[in-house]
A and B are shown apart, each in its own frame.
Chain A
Amino acid sequence: DQQVKQNSPSLSVQEGRISILNCDYTNSMFDYFLWYKKYPAEGPTFLISISSIKDKNEDGRFTVFLNKSAKHLSLHIVPSQPGDSAVYFCAASDPGGDYKLSFGAGTTVTVRA
């Protein structure tokens, strides 16, 4: 049962524009959310996280928004750069499950020059 869903398998965006990646979850017990970035043949790299007590967290060009009532979070990348071309995974942590992470299937972002 997929508790974290990324419904867009791919996203193409022009360099300099905003990239918006979406993620939905079903488990209301999740209280910590993370985004990871992955290049081919490498392990995922942690990007940014947000606690359920917040609705926004910003780190440079990356901002994550959390809408608890809708069980939805999004990652905004502004401005998008060619080096942002990668697979992005959304993940959620369940405190009742010893903080086990559940991952979405990923969204492949391609930034066009």
Chain B
Amino acid sequence: KAGVTQTPRYLIKTRGQQVTLSCSPISGHRSVSWYQQTPGQGLQFLFEYFSETQRNKGNFPGRFSGRQFSNSRSEMNVSTLELGDSALYLCASSPGTGPYEQYFGPGTRLTVT
């Protein structure tokens, strides 16, 4: 099976702009979770989508939003970018119906200048 893919891999944006990141899960997986990783902060949970519905949400401002399509692909959007949004954004997929391990994509490195 193909793994989790994320596009783009690298992105440079300016403060105030908005950005959309994309994630394609492993075939058959219905859950997609998004995480932000910054140095020393570990993996901060953003949100999780399951069958096109947001099922869990972390403690991030409303500038961070997402959606999931009927084919389980997911997008994450960040509006009005701030310098502090510079991070590695990771998505992970799982079957979503039990305590299964999540499989991560390679991440999108976002730099805000």
B99–A44 CB distance below 8 A: no
Closest to A1 in B: B59
Residues of B within 8 A of A95 (CB): 99
Say yes or no for B81: interface residue by CB 8 A criterion: no
Contacts A98-B55, A104-B42 hold; do A44 and B109 have CB atoms under 8 A apart?
no
Q: Are A34 and B45 in contact (CB under 8 A)?
A: no
Q: Say whether B41 faces chain A, with CB atoms less than 8 Å apart.
A: yes
Please give the distance in Å from A19's CB to the nearest CB on chain B. 19
A98 near B43: Cβ-Cβ < 8 Å: no
A45 at the interface (CB under 8 A from B): yes
B42 touches A89 (CB 8 A): yes
Q: Does A13 contact B (CB under 8 A)?
A: no
* Distance in Å: Cβ of A10 to nearest Cβ of chain B: 11
Stretch at the interface among B11-19, B69-77, B100-108: B100-108
Chain A: minimal CB distance from B43 (Å): 4
- CB under 8 Å from chain A, chain B span 9-63: 33, 35, 40-43, 45, 48, 50, 55-56
User: Can you identify 25 A-B contacts, CB atoms within 8 angstroms?
Assistant: A6-B42, A32-B99, A34-B101, A42-B106, A43-B90, A43-B105, A44-B90, A46-B101, A46-B102, A46-B103, A49-B101, A89-B43, A93-B99, A98-B48, A98-B56, A99-B96, A99-B99, A100-B33, A101-B45, A101-B102, A103-B35, A103-B42, A104-B42, A105-B41, A106-B43
Using CB atoms and an 8 Å cutoff, list the residues of chain A in contact with chain B: 6, 9, 31-32, 34, 36, 41-46, 49, 51, 89, 93, 95, 97-106
